[in-house]
Amino acid sequence: MAGMTTLGEFIVQQQHAFPHATGELSSLISAIRLAAKIVNREINRAGLSPDIIGAAGQENVQGEAQQKLDVFANDKFKAALEARGEVCGIASEEEDEYVAFSGERGRNAKYVVLMDPLDGSSNIDVNVSVGTIFSIFRRITPVGEPVSAADFLQPGRNQVAAGYVIYGSSTMLVYTTGNGVNGFTYDPTLGVFALSHPNLTMPKDGKMYSINEGNYIKFPTGVKKYLKYCQENDEATSRPYTSRYIGSLVSDFHRNMLKGGIYMYPTTQSAPQGKLRLLYECNPMAFIAEQAGGSASDGYSRIMDIIPTELHQRVPYFVGSSNMVADAERFMEEFKD
């Protein structure tokens, strides 16, 4: 670890480097770091305990079967965020409504957090990478009053920080506070996240596309045409591209962040609004993508300009290397259904 910067040290350095960086936000990131360690420990034990893997026997508000680790991760992140006293409330993919933190500390806190506690949780049983996604906003209701729905229904461009944790062959925490993107790898021997990927940038072009092609027949015409474009031979543009789809947004996004590529989850006939959640998945990953030089779109316009109307709102999603997203938008516009 000689010469390595830990996440804790990095947070302190950022406070000194940027006058707008507050101790409250730093403490909030530290709470996420703590919860990620706890969730990481349980994920690493998933094959050893029947109490960890499998379905929880209930559904979330979207009608999706919750996994035991979904519930576990949600509880741990919620508890860690409430304990620090910097968060007045949270909204989660696993909660029907937003959760307001009671007491004087909760009412006086400046931030709200929206999260997908365990993205891709159905992959746990087969030992495939999963992740946590989080998004942080300043509240817009007056400090001292109870948090309201308006605090959570803000456009993504208002985010003050966002990030994800990927639990894979190694565990990484990647986040931005609007000053670039940095990645920290967890060292289990020391129990710390160490800066391993400073100033992450996403290639403008890539050679991979990520989409569930099993839904091809249900895709809009623009998506079908773009996929054919991706599969055509063209040496000038390094096509055909390679198809890579894990089925966990965090995992697919992380690969494309490092190697270049595009992730797509468009509308389908069975999901006319798309499948991914704007607040818990799309906005935070869009913020990270843009800070790394990439882009994120609903197929026609910038994701972070969408004004949310409900907590569990779904949207079509195209995110990744900026030139690839622009190409996808071009096909969507040209071949509108």
Higher pLDDT, 26 or 180: 180
**Number of C-beta neighbours around residue 64 at 10 A:** 14
pLDDT tens per residue, range 276-319: 999 999 999 999 999 999 999 999 999 999 999 999 999 999 99
pLDDT at 55: 61
Is 263 flagged in the annotation as binding? no
- pTM comes to 0.93
Token code pair at residue 198: 């400073």
Is 102 flagged in the annotation as binding? no
Is 205 flagged in the annotation as binding? no
Is 275 flagged in the annotation as binding? yes
Residue of 135, 150, 108 whose CA lies nearest to 277: 135
Structural domains present in the chain: 7-197 (3.30.540.10), 208-334 (3.40.190.80)
Is 120 flagged in the annotation as binding? yes
The gap from C-alpha 85 to its chain's centroid, in whole angstroms, comes to 23
Is 118 flagged in the annotation as binding? yes
Integer Cα distance of 136 and 146 in angstroms: 17
Is 281 flagged in the annotation as binding? yes
Is 121 flagged in the annotation as binding? yes
Residues of the chain with pLDDT > 90: what percent?
Answer: 75
pLDDT tens per residue, range 147-167: 999 999 999 999 999 999 999
Residue 204: is it exposed, middle or buried by C-beta count within 10 angstroms (0-12/13-18/19+)? middle
**Number of C-beta neighbours around residue 62 at 10 A:** 12
pLDDT at 5: 94
Residues of the chain with pLDDT > 70: what percent?
Answer: 91
- The dihedral built from the CA positions of residue 186, 192, 196 and 197, taken in this order, carries a sign that is positive
Is 212 flagged in the annotation as binding? yes
